[in-house]
Amino acid sequence: MTETVELALKALEAQLNQPLETALEACARCGICAEACHYYRAEPKVEHIPAYRAEQLRSVYRHEHDFLSRLFPVWTGSKKLDEPTLLHLTEVAFSQCTLCRRCTVNCPLGVDTPLMMRAIRAMASAAGTAPEILVILADAAIEKGKDPSFYKEMFLEQITEMEEQLREITGDENATIPVEKQGAKILYVPLAGAHTILPPAVIFNAAKEDWTLSIFEAANYGVFLADMKRAKEVAKRIVDEANRLGVKEIVVAECGHAYASYRWDVPNWFAGEFNFKVRSLIEVIAEYIIDGKIKVDPTAIPEAVTYHDSCNLARSGGLIEEPRFVLKHVVSDFREMTPNKAEALCCGGGGGLVALAEYAERRIAAGKPKADQIKNTGARVVVAACENCRLQIGDLNEHYSLNVRITALTDLVVRAMRLPKPLPGAEAEHLFEGEKAAVTKI
């Protein structure tokens, strides 16, 4: 047995708790999960059936834990783990499953196939066979947390420039983007890039919120790797920041995996240190509309708009009605995809797959069912409250000639607020219909 295989098997053993053992033992091989999977819908092949993917891990598990399987492997379908098998398992877990959980919610026995795929990802991370780019991104975030001063000055300079844009957009000379504000109610955690800072800042200022901006980003590539050591180190940066500032609530940017992680996992990882409420930015915006803290005009967005349910937000996070509430207040023509909500089809870019260039062709092919859904709505604008989903749908838009515009929900809210100036890059959408016609004639 090589060291690589030994490390992978140790990682498997470390994860064998009741939920994983139940998933490994409970499958009835009925095949109902096939139609639930977007990979199978896009290309109906045996290897795209979730139960078949899970069987790849079960065969290794049986060899390690079933005496008869070691004696009669052909009879039971068991397989001794070796390096070629580990590499195959790694490819299956990272490129043929986005961890969307649609198979699980449609399984009569509730078999958690994504849990088994996470187990394989953990094995790959421990053995050093996981995709290198995900490891690099996770480690970069960890290093950033060790010494924020290295980039903090540059970050604050960028925020100062953004504040000038914020004042132009809002017409409010006192509008600010506070950083490291002690005792603020909300710690807002963005993603990398001004596009997840400036629009929320517009909304927070309009609502007169007591908030502060995190110096870290919400993305956690340790979660994609199923590497709990890395995932906890990445999350600890924000937990420590929230404790240091004494905030009451952590609000996460429009990001599926970050919301699911901070909402469900991180409070358990840091029990005793985590005394904060966690919400998505979408929930906060819905509350502002209900309380009248921001004013929105649905006639500002006359185009037909549809909404893509992020798997982590909707199916895993229960964030289903809030984005629809917001959309129905900021657009005049909202169209649902079918199926939707907890049964929504995955876009094909989740689980970190959108970052893996080597699997781009497979990712785009698996996204065809989502592309067909979008096309069938006839909508011209697709809203996705997740960065990875927006990137994937952008690629689907180009590949399948959907002729749609993809946007974050926050951007539409800002547009519907009818502010003095638009967000950068949204000048045309900011115009009233009559003004658009005038510009077209010119």
What does the pLDDT average to over 7-14? 97
Confidence bin at 428 (pLDDT 50/70/90): low
User: Does the pLDDT of residue 235 top 70, yes or no?
Assistant: yes
Are 386 and 347 contacting, i.e. CB atoms less than 8 angstroms apart? no
pLDDT tens digits for 161-200? Answer: 999 999 999 999 999 999 999 999 999 999 999 999 999 9
Confidence bin at 421 (pLDDT 50/70/90): confident
What does the pLDDT average to over 105-111? 96
Average pLDDT, the chain: 93
User: Does the pLDDT of residue 431 top 50, yes or no?
Assistant: no
What does the pLDDT average to over 235-252? 97
Spatial strand order in the sheet of 211-213: 211-213, 186-189, 249-252, 277-280
Question: What is the model's pLDDT at position 441?
Answer: 32
User: Does the pLDDT of residue 438 top 60, yes or no?
Assistant: no
User: Does the pLDDT of residue 429 top 70, yes or no?
Assistant: no
What does the pLDDT average to over 233-251? 97
Give all strands (DSSP E) within 185-248, no chain letters.
186-189, 211-213
User: Does the pLDDT of residue 427 top 90, yes or no?
Assistant: no
All domains in the chain, ordered by first residue: 3-130 (1.10.1060), 135-288 (no CATH), 295-441 (3.40.50)
pLDDT: is 233 or 441 the higher one?
233
User: Does the pLDDT of residue 435 top 60, yes or no?
Assistant: no
Rounded to the nearest 10 degrees, the angle between the axes of helix 50-65 and helix 83-95 is 150
- Residue 32 CB burial class (10 angstroms; 0-12, 13-18, ≥19): middle
Residue carrying the six token digits 């499958």: 27
Residue carrying the six token digits 């039971």: 76
Are 371 and 396 contacting, i.e. CB atoms less than 8 angstroms apart? yes
Tokens at 379, concatenated:
């909508």
d(CA 42, CA 116): 22
Calculate what percentage of the chain has a pLDDT beyond 70: 96
Confidence bin at 252 (pLDDT 50/70/90): very high
Question: What is the model's pLDDT at position 426?
Answer: 66
Sequence-ordered alpha helix ranges (H) in 37-192:
38-42, 50-65, 67-71, 73-76, 83-95, 102-106, 113-127, 132-146, 149-170
Give how far Cα 176 sits from Cα of 173, 200, 206, 259, 396, Å.
Answer: 9, 12, 11, 25, 37
Question: What is the model's pLDDT at position 323?
Answer: 98
Question: What is the model's pLDDT at position 88?
Answer: 97
User: Does the pLDDT of residue 439 top 60, yes or no?
Assistant: no
User: Does the pLDDT of residue 316 top 60, yes or no?
Assistant: yes
User: Does the pLDDT of residue 433 top 60, yes or no?
Assistant: no
Spatial strand order in the sheet of 333-335: 333-335, 304-308, 381-384, 405-407
pLDDT: is 150 or 238 the higher one?
238
What does the pLDDT average to over 410-430? 83
Q: Enter the pTM of the model.
A: 0.93
Please state the separation of Cα 289 from the chain's center in Å. 24
Question: What is the model's pLDDT at position 191?
Answer: 96
Name the residue type at position 240: D
What does the pLDDT average to over 91-96? 97
Tokens at 35, concatenated:
């139609």
pLDDT tens digits for 280-294? Answer: 999 999 999 999 999
Name the residue type at position 70: R
